[in-house]
């Protein structure tokens, strides 16, 4: 591996790993708009099973791109939002989105 390529390879692979998971990109996209509660995310992502949503949110949280905030009250309220790294990641995806709209959709 050319020395020049190695840092790109390791870090890019790590970023692609963070994004790999059927619903993660969509979850990031929905959270980019505004913080969301669990139930909202379930409605916005039809087809996702509760167990999978819990798992993928946990993984995004562990990867530091999503934050989980619990609010006390008569009923426990939990809100998910993008961290600063999460917002930056979703922005960094825009050129890739543009590429795929130009190259993937037309085929």
- Positions that interact with its own copies (CB under 8 A): 1-2, 5, 7-16, 18-20, 22, 25-26, 29-30, 33, 44-46, 64, 85, 88-89, 91-105, 107
Residue with Cβ nearer its own copies (5 or 71):
5
Q: Taking the complex as a whole, how short is the minimal distance between the CB of residue 104 and its own copies, in angstroms?
A: 4
Q: How far is CA 21 from CA 15, 16, 26, 28, 58, in A?
A: 12, 10, 10, 12, 12
Q: Taking the complex as a whole, how short is the minimal distance between the CB of residue 62 and its own copies, in angstroms?
A: 10
Please tell me the distance from the alpha carbon of residue 96 to that of residue 21, in angstroms, as a whole number: 17
Residue with Cβ nearer its own copies (42 or 79):
42
Residue with Cβ nearer its own copies (14 or 54):
14
Q: Taking the complex as a whole, how short is the minimal distance between the CB of residue 58 and its own copies, in angstroms?
A: 17
Q: How many CA atoms lie within 13 A of 84 on its CB side?
A: 0
Residues 6+ apart with CB under 8 A from 37: 77, 78, 79, 80
Residue with Cβ nearer its own copies (18 or 57):
18
Provide the CA 101 distance to its chain's centre, in angstroms: 19
């Amino acid at each position: 591996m050319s020395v020049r390529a190695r840092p790109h390879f390791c870090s890019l692979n790590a970023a692609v790993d963070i994004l790999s998971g059927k619903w993660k990109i969509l979850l990031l996209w929905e959270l980019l708009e505004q913080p969301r509660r669990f139930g909202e995310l379930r409605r916005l992502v039809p087809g996702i099973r509760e167990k999978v949503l819990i798992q993928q949110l946990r993984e995004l949280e562990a990867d530091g791109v999503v934050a989980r905030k619990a609010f006390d009250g008569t009923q426990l309220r939990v809100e998910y939002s993008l961290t600063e790294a999460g917002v930056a990641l979703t922005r960094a995806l825009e050129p890739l989105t543009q590429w795929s709209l130009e190259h993937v959709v037309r085929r």
